[in-house]
Structure 1
């Protein structure tokens, strides 16, 4: 074995698929944190009463997490490109672990409820920063790891989807089970233990991922093509990528505008099925996401992210229009309604749920991939925030226009959501380019040519010279493929 080969296999490392999951699994915290806060708000109202903990406080606590997430996406998008993927991921996971614990320990001076709420809101904002940071750090690193030697070309997109969006959806499911199980354990007389442990258990997955990531190295693409030590030619980059960024950001805004409010509506729909048991309603409702994201992960490598996304959007729109037109008839057969509604949510995860992060991570160059992804994801989160506030107004507006039909208000979000899904599919078809397997390497090659044609010195790109040389000589080698 040559010296170069011995250097390549010198140290045992985590398997390539394990590395993808080590990068993306921390997004579980997004699903868990955003899902569990609804149950926590309900528990706080029961403990302290609606006069102390009213809807205003509940909305504030939920909103500051959105604000923190947007801030984390933008700040860490820059840090991910300048300081490295691993630096960003380790810091993000540490923030999530720390402020999950502090959220659980929230308390006011002299045990005041106002002080407790203020501390909880502050911790939720800072927790949101850590969650937001995982998108341009963890997801971006997962996308780059998915094209490392050892990953089967026909499974690159699948592993990325399972390690990112599937983890978010799994977090939603677990966030519904945890408060329910804790309530069974502690009972009605110990609700303080239930809400504090529900938040505090968010520390466990964050610490586990932190340890998991300790042995990681920077992805090959980042070592070779980053601009961490070079001046970034932003005007040239904007000129080349603004159309893709605008299209992906717009479709992500629309997806979150639709998905987050419908996620809230899920508990209302399934409440009827479960006989009025609110906890079981939330659990059952969250399960609708899993078939879509897991099934979609096994479709995306065959159709590609662009056309899988279009398939999901058009299918979701068709189901949504059917539900809008037959809403009254379906509500008379609630089991049929639940099945159709579950299919509606599943198509959303099969298409944009799985594919938007993939498109954002793999459409731009390595040099600004974190910032490209962070901007798109942040605009998506703003859409989620807008959707949650617009939902009830849409219902009320439809109802006020047709006061004689008691069901017409609830059809409004389905009509609008389905129309927006069609609009998003058109944008995707016209302005988002298809992604090929191993496409990031080709995109980086074309990006270097583009920069050189405009007088930029690309020799300053990448990390250490020795690392770049080693990567170039071994980058085409294929080890055992998974």
Structure 2
């Protein structure tokens, strides 16, 4: 009995110890869960801060770009008609400045960092917008005010240009790779808010009886206020990205190890990246030819008899209806929906179809009267205006949720950290060169041949852009973005490019070969896989050196194996 009692006591002791251990394990697991939850909350909060700090810049930029839509109507009422040169330069000065800003700020950001250049960009935008609001005639000729405005809007444009590569680099490097595409799309969506705020402000001011003088000055001044808010937020919340600091540390190690060796810096754009860069730059160029060619003159297209209030109300209505499309892009960019490249292809295709319909319906739904600079848009039936407005707005929906979003997102993700600012800046600058072409060419072409020929040209441009997107742009996913840093660092540039273009197909092949690549990463994955393979047959990327492809295959296989452990 004693033995039994001893055994029973021992058993009881073991039971108590087990219970205590189980409680400790449970507490530890609970602590792990708590830490993970707190970590997830902190990560989410950080991602929101990064997105907001970057997004307010693009909101301000599109506000500043679109203020001129209505402001120029007010200015002509006060200071006389502009010459064709003045009108073109007033619209295009900010775009020309943006080209310079995108090239310069993107390159400099890869040398000295994102934070410093981000603050400088916001400061320039603030100075340019404030100078525009305070402009006055510099001679007895009242029209000389246009010269002052052109100068200040150029300065503002340089600052605006810097926002594009800097906001993209800061966002892509500041959030987890799984959400980088959606975060970049969210930053881009702030452009939709900016496009709507510009005409909204004029509708409110003019509706409340504000004078034309006060209205245009407050319009430009509001841009300065928005830039000031962005500058304060960045100075308090913005820190240098860890990815850039890691690149800087690696550069320093290279200098110490071999001072005479050439650095692998932003100026070292290897030939392996020329095809991806061509894809992002050409697509953005063609997109902005259409987007800015129509967008900066939407007041002229939709306005009623050049009345500033009616024009502002019409532009506001269109931009407000199209606003949800900017946020729709955040959903479409997901890997399990359309993804980055396919969003761009679908968007360009939709725009092309709408432009073709607008060409076909000339005369039945809309028509132009007059000739030369006196052309006016007329609608032969009572419902015609609403049909035209619906078609025009539908085009904007395809625009905003498709190439408008993807041309910004893709170059922000696919290039390595060491050259991300430079390559995004080159891509964005190519876009703004297209914007200059569109903003100068649109009124000239309309004056010579009419709006119908402009719509036909836009259909051709979007069709070409759709084909080149399919040919040159990689159909990558968030998984490839997550592996890009490792592959670019250890496998070299060629392996990184192979990862972007062939990674999804390699993953699908491994799954089919029984290596359990997990569930399909996209809806209708077989269609996406077929499109990728058709793309590879036509693309310059169809040939790649075997070592690079073998390396990428091993990396993906290892990543899949690790994910199952």
TM-score normalised to structure 1 length: 0.81
Question: Residues 438 and 432 of structure 1: is their aligned pair in 2 closer, same or farther, counting only changes over 3 Å?
Answer: same
2:17 aligns with none
Of 214-223 and 264-273, the range deviating more from structure 2: 264-273
Provide closer, same or farther for how the CA distance between residues 417 and 109 of structure 1 changes in structure 2, counting only shifts above 3 A. closer
The answer to whether residue 55 in structure 2 is matched with residue 32 in structure 1 is no
For residue 474 of structure 2, give the secondary structure of its aligned residue in structure 1: coil
In structure 2, what is the equivalent of residue 418 of structure 1? 459
Deviation at 1:269, TM superposition (A): 4.8
Q: Judge which range, 241-250 or 426-435, deviates more.
A: 426-435
Residue 219 of structure 1 is matched in structure 2 by 241
Find the counterpart in structure 1 of residue 346 from structure 2.
Answer: 311
- The residue aligned with 2:371 is none
Q: Which residue of 2 aligns with 1:404?
A: none
Matches within 5 A, 1:436-455: 436-437=477-478, 439-451=480-492
Structure 1 position 394, deviation (Å): 3.7
Which of 204, 220, 239 is the aligned partner of 2:225? 204
Question: SS of the residue aligned with 1:218?
Answer: coil
- Distance, in Å, in 2 between the alignment partners of 1:110 and 1:266 is 31
Where in structure 1 are there 5+ consecutive unaligned residues? Answer: 400-408, 455-482
Change over 3 Å in CA distance of 1:453–1:381 after alignment to 2: closer
Residues 321 and 418 in structure 1, CA contact (< 8 A), matched pair in contact too? yes
What residue in structure 2 maps to residue 469 of structure 1?
none
Shift of 1:277: 2.1
Superposed, 1:222-261 pairs within 5 Å as 222-226=244-248, 231-232=263-264, 237-261=269-293
Indicate whether 1:158 and 2:187 are aligned: no
Contact 1:244-1:432 within 8 A present in 2 as well: yes
| CA offset digits 1:241-299 (Å, max 9, x no partner) | 01110121111110000111222453355446999922212222333431322212211
TM superposition shift of 1:157: 2.0
Would you say the 8 A contact 1:20–1:143 is kept in 2? no
In 1, distance between residues paired with 2:240 and 2:332?
A: 29
For 2:431, the equivalent position in structure 1 comes to: 380
Structure 2 equivalent of residue 182 of structure 1: 205
RCO higher in 1 or 2 (8 Å CA, sep ≥ 6)?
1
- Which of structures 1 and 2 has the bigger CA Rg? 2
Structure 2 residue 194 is matched with structure 1 residue 171: yes
Q: Structure 2: where are the runs of 5+ without partners?
A: 1-30, 256-262, 367-380, 496-565
Residue 270 to residue 107, structure 1, CA distance change in 2 (3 Å)? closer
Aligned residues: 431
Deviation (angstroms), 1:72: 0.6
Q: CA, structure 1 residues 225+441, in 2 after alignment: closer, same or farther (shift >3 Å)? A: farther
Corresponding position of 1:117: 146
- The residue number in structure 2 matching 1:359 is 410
Tell me, yes or no, if structure 1 residue 324 matches structure 2 residue 359: yes
Closer/same/farther in 2, CA of residues 272 and 334 from structure 1, 3 Å limit: farther
Partners of 2:139 and 2:464 in 1: CA distance: 53
| Cα RMSD, aligned residues only | 3.1
Tell me by how many angstroms 1:99 deviates: 2.3
TM-score (structure 2 length as normaliser) = 0.70
Greater shift after overlay, 277-286 or 196-205? 277-286
